[in-house]
Structure 1
Amino acid sequence: MLGIGLPEFFVIAVVGMLVFGPDRLPEFARQAGRMVRQLRALSKQARDDIRAELGPDYADFELRDLDPRRAIRKHIIEAWDEEDEDQPSSGPSLARGEQPPYDSEAT
């Protein structure tokens, strides 16, 4: 939940109790919950609208995919995997106990 643990939540509750008082705090909590639900619904609607506009090719589209850091990581990992596949094997393997070729003139 947004990186907020039990100790942080307790501190927020105590500060809220001191600032707003025990009478008004439940109403503010209801309003905050309503706002979070509305933001989630708005986000879901935006995602669904984008999916509908992009078509069936992007049925698995998520709003997190628009984060530039994720896009860069994705393309770097894909390029890295392609590079590994394109490299030829290191050559023929040696039989057990066989010595690799040795060139005395090499530096």
Structure 2
Amino acid sequence: MVGINGYEFILLALIAVVILGPERLPEYASQLARLVREVRRMASGAREQLREEVGPEIDEVDWRKLDPRQYDPRRIIKEALLDDVHDAVKPVSGRPSAAPGTSAPGTQSPGAPSPSPAPAAAPGTAGRPPAVKPLERLGAGQPAPFDIEAT
């Protein structure tokens, strides 16, 4: 947790005995014990307050997943890219819904006027997108159109 092994702890204790002296060491040890108890009490109080404010969902959080030491940009990018692929290849369930205010064919409410038939498509264009209008070129010396709201 702190990163101090046994030998380092013994060395720190010997340095404390030499610096503080045997007569003041018990007093400082008791102060250190009180400080540790107070810090633990404050941490548990903060944990309880967080649990009260957030609710029982806080117990379900996987804190190891949120650990910054687990951060691996390659894994995160790979997961994000795979999530997009899985979302993109999901099969569509059901039929596409009709536009708002319209009903699906064959589900017309009684008493409602029948919709007018759609204009007939030109022969040979069934299922094709509408034709695209060709670009119009400006003549020589003709100024370009200016949109005051676009600038």
State the TM-score bracket (shorter-chain normalisation).
0.5 to 0.7
Counterpart of 2:134 in structure 1 is: none
TM-score by length of 2: 0.43
Q: CA deviation at 1:7?
A: 1.2
Does the 8 Å CA contact 1:51/1:61 hold for their aligned counterparts? no
The one-letter code sitting in structure 1 at the alignment partner of 2:7 is P
Q: Matches of residues 75-94 of structure 1 in structure 2 within 5 Å? A: 80=79, 83=82, 86=86
Change (3 A) 1:12 1:20: same
Q: Using the aligned pairs only, state the percent identity.
A: 33
Q: Deviations over 1:13-58 (max 9, x none)?
A: 1111111101111221111111111101101110110111012222
Change (3 A) 1:3 1:68: closer
Which has a greater percent of helix? 1
Segment drifting more, 1-10 vs 18-27: 1-10
**CA RMSD in angstroms, aligned pairs only:** 3.8
Partner of 2:22, secondary structure, is: helix
**Structure 1: where are the runs of 5+ without partners?**
89-107
**Structure 2: where are the runs of 5+ without partners?**
90-151
> For the pair shown, which has the larger CA radius of gyration, 1 or 2?
2
Count of paired positions:
85
Counterpart of 2:68 in structure 1 is: 69
Distance in 2 (alpha carbons) for counterparts of 1:82 and 1:45:
41
Q: Which of the pair has the greater relative contact order for Cα pairs under 8 Å at 6+ separation?
A: 1
Q: CA deviation at 1:12?
A: 0.8
